Amino acid sequence: MDLLNTLVEKGLRRELPTREEALAVLATSDDELLDVVAAAGKVRRQWFGRRVKLNYLVNLKSGLCPEDCSYCSQRLGSKAEILKYTWLKPDEASQAAAAGVAGGAKRVCLVASGRGPTDRDVERVGRTIEAIKEQNEGVEVCACLGLLSDGQAERLKDAGADAYNHNLNTSEATYGGITKTHTYADRVDTVQKAHAAGLSACSGLIAGMGESDEDLVDVVYALRELDSDSVPVNFLIPFEGTPLAKEWNLTPQRCLRILAMVRFVCPDVEVRIAGGREVHLRSMQPLALNIANSIFLGDYLTSEGQAGQADLDMIADAGFEVEGAGTTTLPKHRADALAEAGAAAAGGCGSAGAAGCGPAAEKTEEGAGCGSHSGGGCGPCGGHAEPASTTPASTGAAEGATAANGARTDLVAVRRRGAGTDLAPNA
């Protein structure tokens, strides 16, 4: 297929495909699907071999967000029966993180619901980062706290953060249709602040919210322009009690095409299969590892994933290997550019978000949540949740239920273990 040969050649050269080529990937037929996966796999292996990076989410503060993101179970007015609790103490968060690291996670993603952190919140998260790094030598820490104010990204970096996540989620043209309490430009500004502070920028999207192919291509092109090091691809989890509860628009085949398009547009970045992979990819998850080089281990912020051991077995059975702590995830040209940007930021090249801060990086990665469906920022979140049952709670769908398009609605399970509970995490 000429299209796929062209895309492979461009991916190996880090050359941007045309919009028409990206749209054509999304328009391929099911008969062409394995060819699409194989082509994207060639690009993936060029830059990341057969390594799979494991990431682990710790929900520092859950629920009661003042933002109105339609996809989010923690949004203002959400009736989803999720865990609600205020800030975990640093030692609680460190203990939660240690479970993921023990399971093979190389990066811990610290997420808090709300619009954005106060300076006191930044100090609190800084202490948490220090506690995690003291207990787990060599672990990467990514913070995801919502919209950042000037200087906050620098303080997080000084505290030991390696990366900052803030997802664009969807195209600029359709953003106003999913959120009214902040803008697409606000999100772009926060990603730029993280970059300027020398943090690795993690920013991605949510597919399945009713967007068009054009919207998907627009947001992925915007992510490449923002020079994100890692791009989490979330597949909407339609929580009962949220405005998008009935949006079951994805099939496993559609998910694979979206991942392939992201890989072709962002060939040398960490493409992460994030929230919703178990719900929408289902038995085709191992095939997706031929495209993406990163996943979350175990549970997400407010929903449950498959068992951590099942993730490890899936990786091994598919012929891949877990990326070790001593291995640099990004290709050398990107890792070197990130190091240069960090050094420039440390040298005092202006405030966060300033234009022209440091050398231009030759780069092309929970909701705002770190690869998940979480609104971005701060706000009170109530007390600690009561200890919960060990039985996974669905969003109300009957066991074995399917939507009209074959979607497994019963696979949406609200998290009832791990951070914020007295039960062991799924790692």
317-336 pLDDT, tens digit per residue, is 999 999 998 999 999 999 99
Residue 31: DSSP 8-state:
G
Asked about 255 being catalytic, the answer comes back as no
Residue of 44, 72, 255, 415 with catalytic role: 72
Highest mean pLDDT among 83-87, 126-130, 387-391, 421-425: 126-130
C-alpha atoms less than 13 angstroms from C-alpha of 67 in its C-beta half-sphere: 30
* Phi/psi-derived region of residue 189, left when phi > 0, alpha when psi is between -120 and 50, beta in every other case: alpha
Render pLDDT for 2-13 as a digit per residue (tens, 0 to 9). Answer: 999 999 999 999
Polymer length of the chain:
427
pLDDT band, very low/low/confident/very high, at 399 (cuts 50, 70, 90) = very low
What pLDDT, on the 0 to 100 scale, is given for residue 322?
98
What pLDDT, on the 0 to 100 scale, is given for residue 420?
82
**Based on C-alpha coordinates, what's the Rg of the chain?**
19
192, 226 in Cβ contact below 8 A?
yes
Tell me the backbone φ, ψ of residue 198, rounded to 5 degrees.
90, 10
Highest mean pLDDT among 66-75, 296-305, 328-337: 328-337
What pLDDT, on the 0 to 100 scale, is given for residue 178?
85
Once rounded to an integer, what is the mean pLDDT over residues 348-369?
39
pLDDT at 214 over 50: yes
C-alpha atoms less than 13 angstroms from C-alpha of 335 in its C-beta half-sphere: 8
What pLDDT, on the 0 to 100 scale, is given for residue 241?
82
pLDDT at 264 over 70: yes
Asked about 381 being catalytic, the answer comes back as no
What pLDDT, on the 0 to 100 scale, is given for residue 114?
84
Once rounded to an integer, what is the mean pLDDT over residues 268-291?
97
Average pLDDT, the chain: 86
What pLDDT, on the 0 to 100 scale, is given for residue 404?
55
Helix (H) or strand (E) holding 109: strand 107-112
What pLDDT, on the 0 to 100 scale, is given for residue 151?
97
In whole angstroms, what is the distance from residue 90 CA to residue 176 CA? Answer: 36
**Higher local confidence (pLDDT), 350 or 325:** 325
Residue of 44, 75, 109, 277 with catalytic role: 109
**Higher local confidence (pLDDT), 75 or 118:** 118
Residue of 65, 144, 266, 357 with catalytic role: 65
Q: Which domains does the chain have, with CATH numbers?
A: 41-346 (3.20.20.70)
Residue of 69, 144, 370, 381 with catalytic role: 69
Residue 169: DSSP 8-state:
B
Count CB atoms within 10 A of the CB of residue 134. Answer: 11
pLDDT at 74 over 90: no
What lies within 8 Å, CB to CB, of 391 at 6+ separation is 416
Residue of 14, 142, 277, 370 with catalytic role: 142
Of all residues in the chain, the percent with pLDDT exceeding 90 is 67
Asked about 202 being catalytic, the answer comes back as yes
263, 47 in Cβ contact below 8 A?
no
List helix spans (H) across 207-247.
213-226
pLDDT band, very low/low/confident/very high, at 374 (cuts 50, 70, 90) = very low
C-alpha distances in Å from residue 138, one per residue of 22, 59, 130, 132, 160? 37, 21, 12, 10, 11
In whole angstroms, what is the distance from residue 303 CA to residue 411 CA? Answer: 10
Tell me the backbone φ, ψ of residue 141, rounded to 5 degrees.
-125, 125
pLDDT at 378 over 90: no
Helix (H) or strand (E) holding 343: helix 332-346
For residue 393, give the 3-state DSSP assignment. Answer: strand
Q: Which two tokens stand for residue 93?
A: 């968060």
pLDDT at 370 over 70: no
Asked about 109 being catalytic, the answer comes back as yes
What pLDDT, on the 0 to 100 scale, is given for residue 36?
98
Residue 387: DSSP 8-state:
P
C-alpha distances in Å from residue 336, one per residue of 76, 78, 80, 84, 195? 41, 43, 43, 41, 14
What pLDDT, on the 0 to 100 scale, is given for residue 316?
98
Residue of 14, 124, 187, 202 with catalytic role: 202
pLDDT band, very low/low/confident/very high, at 76 (cuts 50, 70, 90) = low
Once rounded to an integer, what is the mean pLDDT over residues 162-173?
97
Predicted TM-score (pTM) of this structure = 0.87
Asked about 72 being catalytic, the answer comes back as yes
Residue of 254, 257, 272, 415 with catalytic role: 272
What pLDDT, on the 0 to 100 scale, is given for residue 111?
93
| DSSP string across 261-327 | HHHHHSTTSEEEE-TTHHHHTGGGHHHHTTT-SEEE-S--SSB--S-HHHHHHHHHHTT-EEPPTTS
pLDDT at 395 over 60: no
